[in-house]
């Protein structure tokens, strides 16, 4: 194990936090952002634990702050070996099976994590372990260690968590929830058999801790958080600590201005509310046929766009070559006046927060949904796998800030250019799209108020910190 230490050199702390995320980008990001807040704003020593490759990934993709120069934030990285297959854009199930070897490699962290927590428990009054549901196997020995408490950090929507409860038991719910829940899509096609096997292992090792942390805000999902709380025993605690992204884009410093991504300079030249941002996250690869139809649909829509066209992450993003997705010949030249294609890592939050951006065609990963909501941008929902089909339902039918590109039942069909064209025009240039934009803006303002002193999210974080330091 290697530990990068930025904590004070005191031998005794009141409380130390240990974080154990699943080694996938969306999970790594949220844990790192919560680690930053606890370490910086609340002066609590935090140990962020993962494999060498995934600690490096989390650090390299942090935007707007330096994880290696943050007081109280420590990185404990462990060397493990695993296969790194390339993503398969033609797979019948879109789930990124190429990541599962990395997930399985994380199982090797069980003994090192127990040893780390055991060592820290002698230096603190209490060690608080925050773990992903999908890292339950790793932390299963922690409850046997003195002075420890475990909390499960759900990096998905509260709606998704409650949808599983609804699937299993059909508890009574208010009519506004029932009308949405009756439409929840099947889980068929959401995950690969390899992931199902991995998840079963986590379920068998499940740790019954002290409370749940949710990556959401009460101003967005109060209804479903309330329903979840009713299903748990009385003394089990719940906190909604999101969003795990800034709700405002800071004015760049002169140094940051020099390093600004070229897409933001392009956006500066566009008129307000005129651009749709197209990106399917870090775990989706499009087939050649899908790329062709999407390219055609965007061109035919005659709307301005930024399209992030890149393959899904591999288990180790620093190893080997990445496929360069092919566009129709001459495409980029033809659309140059009103569209750009980005083939590297894009500054998503800054693009969504730019005044020129007015729509987001998205896979509906929960991080992307929260960022879009925080920036007041309505969504063209195109779910690919995992939690995304149910997030898409929440966005389109629950919060009513989006439109479907395709229904989940037709997931095995290639979405034709004509459908894409129609959806983009509806979102960007219709009264229906204007209504979605209005609701998204109202939600953005509510989220913004919630994180201010005295707001719901601010109080929630204060409550959580008070509880773990009690």
Residue 4 resides in a domain: no
Query: Do 287 and 199 belong to one domain?
Result: no
pTM, two decimals, is: 0.95
Query: Do 330 and 347 belong to one domain?
Result: yes
In 3-state terms, what secondary structure has residue 384? coil
Q: Where are the alpha helices (DSSP H) in 52-132?
A: 52-60, 100-105, 110-121
**b/e string for 366-375 if b means 16 or more Cβ within 10 A?**
bbbbbbbbbb
Residue 9 resides in a domain: no
Q: Which pLDDT band holds residue 9 (cuts at 50, 70, 90)?
A: very low
103/100 Cα distance (integer angstroms): 5
425/389 Cα distance (integer angstroms): 22
Which is higher by pLDDT, 258 or 446? 446
Q: CATH no. for residue 127?
A: 3.40.50.2000
Query: Do 388 and 460 belong to one domain?
Result: no
Residue 8 resides in a domain: no
Strands 237-240 vs 73-78: parallel, antiparallel or unpaired: unpaired
Residue 215 resides in a domain: yes
Residue 1 resides in a domain: no
* Cβ partners under 8 Å of residue 443, min gap 6: 219, 220, 373, 376, 399, 401
Report the Cα 328 to chain-centroid distance in Å.
31
- 138-184 per-position pLDDT tens digit: 999 999 999 999 999 999 999 999 999 999 999 999 999 999 999 99
Residue 368 resides in a domain: yes
* Cβ partners under 8 Å of residue 440, min gap 6: 372, 373, 376, 377, 378, 401
For all residues of the chain together, what is the average pLDDT? 94
Tokens describing residue 296: 């055609």
Query: Do 460 and 398 belong to one domain?
Result: no
Whether 119 shows a pLDDT value over 80: the answer reads yes
Query: Do 20 and 102 belong to one domain?
Result: yes
Q: Which pLDDT band holds residue 10 (cuts at 50, 70, 90)?
A: very low
Task: Report which secondary-structure segment, H or E, holds 138.
Answer: helix 136-139
Query: Do 321 and 199 belong to one domain?
Result: no
Q: Which pLDDT band holds residue 259 (cuts at 50, 70, 90)?
A: confident
Query: Do 397 and 434 belong to one domain?
Result: yes
47/452 Cα distance (integer angstroms): 27
Query: Do 170 and 278 belong to one domain?
Result: no
Query: Do 333 and 390 belong to one domain?
Result: yes
**b/e string for 72-95 if b means 16 or more Cβ within 10 A?**
bbbbbbbebebebeebebeeebbb
Q: How far is CA 106 from CA 50, 268, 269, in A?
A: 8, 43, 45
- 262-305 per-position pLDDT tens digit: 999 999 999 999 999 999 999 999 999 999 999 999 999 999 99
Q: How many domains does the chain have?
A: 2
Residue 279 phi, psi dihedral angles, 5° rounding: -160, 140
* Cβ partners under 8 Å of residue 51, min gap 6: 23, 77, 78, 79, 80, 102, 105, 106, 109
CA-based torsion, 77, 81, 82, 87: positive or negative? positive
Q: Which pLDDT score, from 0 to 100, does residue 99 have?
A: 97
Query: Do 275 and 195 belong to one domain?
Result: no
Query: Do 61 and 28 belong to one domain?
Result: yes
344, HSE (Cβ side, Cα atoms, 13 Å): 5
Q: Which domain holds residue 235?
A: 15-246+452-469
* pLDDT (mean) for 241-268: 87
Catalytic residues: 27, 132
Residue 189 resides in a domain: yes
Residue 3 resides in a domain: no
- Give one DSSP letter per residue of 189-226, joined into a string: TTS-HHHHHHHHHHHHT----SEEEESS-HHHHHHHHH
Q: Which pLDDT score, from 0 to 100, does residue 8 have?
A: 43
Whether 5 shows a pLDDT value over 70: the answer reads no
Query: Do 226 and 263 belong to one domain?
Result: no
313/58 Cα distance (integer angstroms): 13
- 80-112 per-position pLDDT tens digit: 999 999 999 999 999 999 999 999 999 999 999
274/186 Cα distance (integer angstroms): 35
Sheet containing 211-214: give its strands across.
Answer: 2-4, 73-78, 46-51, 13-20, 124-132, 148-154, 211-214, 237-240
| Total count of residues recorded for the chain | 470
């Amino acid at each position: 194990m290697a530990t990068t230490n930025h904590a004070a050199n005191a031998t005794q702390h009141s409380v130390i936090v240990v974080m154990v995320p699943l080694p996938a980008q969306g999970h790594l990001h949220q844990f790192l952002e919560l680690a930053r807040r606890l370490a910086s704003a609340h002066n609590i020593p935090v140990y962020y634990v993962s494999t060498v490759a995934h600690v490096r990934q989390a650090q390299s993709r942090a935007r707007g702050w330096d994880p290696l120069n943050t007081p109280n934030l420590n990185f404990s990285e462990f060397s493990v070996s695993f296969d790194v297959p390339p993503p398969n854009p033609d797979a019948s199930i879109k789930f990124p099976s190429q990541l599962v070897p990395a997930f399985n490699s994380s199982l090797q962290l069980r003994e090192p994590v127990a040893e780390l927590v055991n060592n820290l428990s002698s230096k603190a009054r209490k060690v608080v372990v925050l773990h992903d549901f999908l890292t339950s196997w790793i932390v299963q020995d922690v409850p046997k260690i003195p002075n420890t408490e475990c909390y499960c950090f759900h990096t998905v929507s509260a709606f998704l968590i409650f949808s599983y409860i609804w699937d299993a038991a059909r508890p009574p719910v208010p009519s506004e929830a029932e009308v949405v829940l009756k439409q929840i899509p099947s889980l068929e096609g959401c995950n690969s058999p390899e992931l199902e096997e991995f998840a079963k292992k986590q379920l068998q090792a499940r740790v019954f801790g002290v409370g749940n942390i949710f990556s959401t805000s009460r101003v967005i999902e109060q209804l479903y958080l309330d329903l979840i709380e009713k299903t748990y025993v009385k003394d089990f605690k719940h906190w909604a600590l999101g969003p795990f992204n800034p709700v405002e884009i800071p004015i760049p410093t002169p140094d940051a201005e020099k390093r600004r991504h070229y897409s933001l300079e392009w956006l500066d030249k566009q008129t307000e509310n005129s651009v749709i941002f197209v990106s399917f996250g870090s775990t989706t690869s499009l087939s050649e046929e899908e790329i062709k139809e999407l390219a055609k649909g965007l061109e035919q829509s005659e709307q301005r766009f930024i399209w992030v066209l890149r393959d899904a992450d591999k288990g180790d993003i620093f190893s080997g070559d990445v496929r360069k997705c092919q566009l129709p010949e001459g495409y980029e030249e033809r659309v140059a006046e009103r569209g750009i294609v980005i083939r590297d890592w894009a500054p998503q939050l800054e693009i969504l927060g730019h005044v020129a951006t007015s729509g987001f065609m998205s896979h509906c990963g929960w991080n992307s949904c929260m960022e879009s909501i925080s920036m007041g941008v309505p969504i063209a929902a195109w779910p690919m796998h995992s939690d995304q089909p149910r997030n898409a339902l929440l966005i389109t039918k629950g919060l009513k800030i989006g439109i479907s590109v395709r229904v989940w039942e037709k997931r095995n069909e290639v979405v034709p250019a004509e459908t894409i064209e129609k959806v983009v025009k509806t979102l960007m240039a219709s009264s229906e799209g204007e209504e979605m934009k209005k609701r998204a803006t109202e939600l953005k303002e509510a989220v913004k108020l919630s994180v201010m002193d005295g707001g719901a999210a601010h109080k929630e974080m204060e409550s959580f910190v008070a509880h773990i330091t009690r």
